[in-house]
Amino acid sequence: MAFKTLSAFLLGLAISRVANGAITKRVTCATGETTANAACCVLFPLLADIQENLFDGGESYVHESLRLTFHDAIGFSANISGGGADGSIMTFEDEELQQPANNGLDEIIERQVGFLSTHNITAGDLIQFAGAVGVANCAGAPRLEFMLGRPAATGAAPPGLTPLDKILARFAEVDFSPEEVVALLASMEGNLPASSRSPFDSTPGVFDTQLFIEVQLKGTAFPGTGTTNGEAQSPLRGEMRIESDALVNPRTACEWQSFADNQTKLKSAFRAAMARMAVIGVDRNTLVDCSDVIPVPPALVGSPHLPAGKTMDDIEQACATAPFPTLTADPGPETSVPPV
């Protein structure tokens, strides 16, 4: 992009009133936008560049960018220095992409790495920023926090990530509860095989609770060629389900179910869990809050429902202590899910 980093620095101060009437000092950047901190001005040209030259490539880049935030951050161990949301998956790509859990991330890394040479940002910041911007393009999503200032990675992350139990164990090392991990998995969507473009729910372009509903429908068929890549049987034509995503797991089943008809809870839990994940291995106190650079996501249209052709009899109850919420099905012929 034409913008130079230096030109994005502070031009002057503006005073604006926030909703509660308090007066807050804000900074006007060279590019005209206002933000809470001059350090955040470098992000506006990057935001425009990413929207125009990454996310114009379609929905799959949003999904992959979000997946990258997770795979960079989770590469962490309390017993090993470094790691976390440090951009190591990009900086030490050759090493980290040899781990099977990181299969298929080479394409999104290749798409994102070019922004490092044209913007003044570290790989760790770029990955989390691109993820937050991508989420902002999804109707119904929360506006994610973005903290700026992650230092450069010093080494590759330790290996080991895939089945849910391993993910929970890894997150437990950094004091995440299973409930928080469930909120994250809502959008991370496990380890999608690189060759697959089958989504995990019938509404892949929006941030809604359908994943939590459809994961509880009885599986009836494989979406493609069968049992490769840890796939499980899916309830809808064209929908992907992987074994670790089925989450028929006593530790998470009730938490999973609680999101099925609660968009507000999902947004709030996802935002909180993402905020924690985005600073794994990083001292949050050294970062600058640039959340106001992230666009406000469009509102969600529609409400929680069963896919057309399904009834409550198709729900496979997994939570032992509470019934699945009663939902009605969309009208029309049975839902099938086109590739993304």
Active-site residue list: 71
**Rounded distance between C-alpha atoms, residue 96 and residue 293, angstroms:** 30
Residue among 245, 228, 234, 135 nearest 190 (CA): 245
Residues in contact with Ca ion, shown as a per-residue x/- string from 156 to 185 under the rule CB under 5 A = -x----------------------------
Pick the closer one to Ca ion by CB: 150 or 310. Answer: 150
With binding defined as CB under 5 A, does residue 231 bind Ca ion? no
Amino acid at 134: G
Pick the closer one to Ca ion by CB: 102 or 252. Answer: 102
Shortest approach of Ca ion to residue 255 CB, angstroms? 26
Contacts with Ca ion by CB under 5 A: the residue count is: 5
Residues 49-88 binding Ca ion (CB under 5 A) are 72, 75, 86, 88
Would you tell me how many other CB atoms lie within 10 Å of the CB of residue 156? Answer: 20
Residues 85-124 binding Ca ion (CB under 5 A) are 86, 88
Pick the closer one to Ca ion by CB: 276 or 310. Answer: 276
* Two structure tokens written together for 137: 């393009």
Pick the closer one to Ca ion by CB: 86 or 208. Answer: 86
Q: Closest residue to Ca ion, Cβ-based?
A: 88
Shortest approach of Ca ion to residue 158 CB, angstroms? 10
* Two structure tokens written together for 57: 């490539």
Shortest approach of Ca ion to residue 106 CB, angstroms? 15
Pick the closer one to Ca ion by CB: 62 or 90. Answer: 90
What is the 8-class DSSP label of residue 217? B
**Rounded distance between C-alpha atoms, residue 34 and residue 293, angstroms:** 9
Shortest approach of Ca ion to residue 46 CB, angstroms? 20
What is the 8-class DSSP label of residue 307? P
Query: Across the strands, what pairs with 34?
Result: 28
Residue among 296, 252, 288 nearest 271 (CA): 296
Residue among 42, 9, 30, 59 nearest 201 (CA): 59
User: What are the residues binding Ca ion (CB under 5 A)?
Assistant: 72, 75, 86, 88, 157
